Structure 1
């Protein structure tokens, strides 16, 4: 009975973490460096793939320039759907997907600091591994993430197992011992 309870509690914790991560990505806002694909079913001339620049403007056929920085994927789908529906198409089937996320950056006490392609599920430990691993002087407790939340840059205290997001800047401090 104790084993069943342990397995059940483990499942609930895993499901909660997974749902929290999925919720974070459903609220993921587009930013410069992301590559998106916009597809309108049956309308090849309205489908495109583009990397977002610093300005974050997509020149979209029929609708013109669309500022997409800070929009979620579903908000962009709705915006394009509403713009095409009516005069141009009766009931457009619009799909927006992220082909490539913007990179994350890792600085400080890792062997190869710099920018790396983001992959869903990355933790700070995995990001450090991509950067060649921690140096001998790396602190495992003085880890900070610079992240943009609701348009504001914030610095978060982090631990090695914390999930990172696209565009994060991870800073690994030096330990004294």
Structure 2
């Protein structure tokens, strides 16, 4: 055997034949490496479960429209005398220092922020920074044939079935298949247990006659 042959053989691991890995195995290895790299990039740049949960929680608040009885926390940055708790009154307004009454009913929190900011900027504060949070929403009420009729704090996603459970469930006299919902503006409509309940709604459960 020549010196060149001895030199090349000496660098091969024991049991290695010197042949390259078969093509299918090489392709599989490359695919695994590529999948690992792509997966790592997706994990770094994709939406995490925490972000998805936060978005899901923010959406209902962003769409919420204000009405009488809603309790708010208004913060005007750098102006503590203008900041604090406020409540939407029976006329659908909030009363703030300097700018007096501001119409709030029917507005979202973002719209009310814009309205308060505009009024403060008109005469009082240069470039005011305002943030408004919903502290407690106005209640819904359940009347008629339930065990504990009354008004209860609204929870997002409320249905008639959940509202009735809040009120202690039906009495034995309840006409369970016919519910009536009256909205804040006085409109009345027939409902069932899957009907969505909104803040300020009143649900009435009628009595059945034997």
Q: Same fold (TM over 0.5)?
A: yes
Tell me whether 1:159 sits opposite 2:192 in the alignment.
yes
Question: In structure 2, which of residues 164, 168, 176 is the aligned counterpart of residue 132 of structure 1?
Answer: 168
Instruction: Sort the Cα spacing of 1:73 and 1:137 in 2 relative to 1 into closer, same or farther, 3 A.
Output: same
Aligned to 1:85: 121
Question: In structure 2, which of residues 114, 125, 136 is the aligned counterpart of residue 100 of structure 1?
Answer: 136
- What aligned pairs does 1:1-177 form with structure 2 within 5 A after superposition? 22=59, 26-85=62-121, 87-148=123-184, 152-176=185-209
Q: CA–CA distance in 2 between the matches of 1:166 and 1:119? A: 8
| Structure with the greater alpha carbon radius of gyration | 2
User: Quick check: which one's helix share is greater?
Assistant: 2
SS of the equivalent of 1:119 reads coil
> Aligned Cα RMSD in Å?
2.3
Deviation (angstroms), 1:141: 1.6
Aligned residues: 153
SS of the equivalent of 1:37 reads strand
Q: CA–CA distance in 2 between the matches of 1:108 and 1:121? A: 22
User: Quick check: which one's strand share is greater?
Assistant: 1
SS of the equivalent of 1:29 reads coil
Moved more, 80-89 or 28-37: 80-89
Deviation (angstroms), 1:171: 0.9
Unaligned runs of 5+ in 2: 1-55
Deviation (angstroms), 1:27: 4.7
Compare relative contact order (CA 8 Å, sep 6+) and give the higher one, 1 or 2.
1
Q: CA–CA distance in 1 between the matches of 2:97 and 2:64? A: 25
SS of the equivalent of 1:170 reads strand
Instruction: Sort the Cα spacing of 1:146 and 1:57 in 2 relative to 1 into closer, same or farther, 3 A.
Output: same
